[in-house]
Amino acid sequence: MQTAGLLDLQANGFAGVDFNDSRLTSDALDHALHAMLATGVTACLPTVITAPEDVMAARLAALDRAAAGSRLARLMVPGYHLEGPFLNPAPGYAGCHPPAAMTLPDPGLLQRLAAGLERPVLLLTLAPERPGAVELIRWARGRGMLVAMGHSAADAASVTAAADAGVRLSTHLGNALPQMQPKFLNPLMAQLAEDRLAASFIADGIHIPPPALKVLLRAKGLERSVLVTDATAAAAAAPGLFGFAGMAIERAADGSVRAAGNERLAGSGLCLDQAVRNLVAWGIAPAATAIRLASDQPASLLASALAAHDARLVAGTVTWSPELGPTLVCLDAIELRPGVG
């Protein structure tokens, strides 16, 4: 079976490389992108998470310089995803993001962060219940960004207002929520009920148990769902310690990635082709549908942002084995046969 290449809208790092490292080099980025290509991913949005403004700007600038000198970024990186700093700092919602660095939505701050970048910020994740968020959503949409909500305590009214303003995606829905929530009136139910929102899911069996993921995908609808990895440097790597945005994280033998020394999840070790295989193995979707959730559907979500910035995805293809392993990945003049040589 041959399909379009996979697109990961949320990748913080890969194969030992942290995209949030202000010392990131073109060679390191090429190493990570080559490893991603071997998993069938032909495009991604490197993701920079919450930090103080000067730190976040330095990390974005380093990422942009690395991409400018990278052979594969020319083909695989049309732009970036900012996950923060306009998130909810309350316990349980912040996740592994530093709450002290979170700030109220501010178009000026977003403009400063994006200024001077060769590649655009294509996706912004924020918490729409925070004061000033609706205005920032409209501002970002007016400048061609796809706007998502995440790390959010939004109630139904806030979710509706966010969708009215132009939010079109829930980032890693089901995660970055406190364990204790009201049974029905909670941010998860509110986002599932809003049909204007698509949702991304981390299908690793760790962030969301498979039975719960099956229910969430049924509620949101497969046609409004996409797969992401939220990958870190610990993805496509052996168990051990890694860096992530100034934190020490640890990949355990079960594949989970946590802040070193505690139980808090910190991104993932998931590869996107494994997420596809998981949906099939768990009986959630047939192979062709699972692949669309990681290829055509995220590409469709991103299409308007790409068009607004006169950017495009380079068409790639993946040939799959009967076990849903990539056997041939083609991108421009590149033909990669994973596991060969």
**CA dihedral sign, ordered 288, 289, 295, 299:** positive
Supply 130's token pair: 């925070």
pLDDT score for 261: 86
pLDDT score for 20: 98
Which burial class, exposed, middle or buried, applies to 227 when counting CB atoms under 10 A from its CB (0-12, 13-18, 19+)?
A: buried
pLDDT score for 193: 98
pLDDT score for 12: 98
- By the 8 A CB rule, do 265 and 95 touch? yes
The angle subtended at Cα 223 by Cα 222 and Cα 227, nearest 5°, is 60
Closest CA to 135 of 117, 114, 108: 108
- Domain limits, the chain: 2-336
Is 2-336 assigned to CATH 3.90.550.10? Answer: no
**Rounded CA gap, 58 and 253, in Å?**
33
Closest CA to 95 of 239, 271, 275, 258: 258
pTM equals: 0.98
**Rounded CA gap, 64 and 60, in Å?**
6
pLDDT in tens, the chain (341 residues): 999 999 999 999 999 999 999 999 999 999 999 999 999 999 999 999 999 999 999 999 999 999 999 999 999 999 999 999 999 999 999 999 999 999 999 999 999 999 999 999 999 999 999 999 999 999 999 999 999 999 999 999 999 999 999 999 999 999 999 999 999 999 999 999 999 999 999 999 999 999 999 999 999 999 999 999 999 999 999 999 999 999 999 999 999 999 998 889 999 999 999 999 999 999 999 999 999 999 999 999 999 999 999 999 999 999 999 999 999 999 999 999 997 64
**Rounded CA gap, 182 and 24, in Å?**
42
Closest CA to 36 of 297, 336, 240, 290: 336
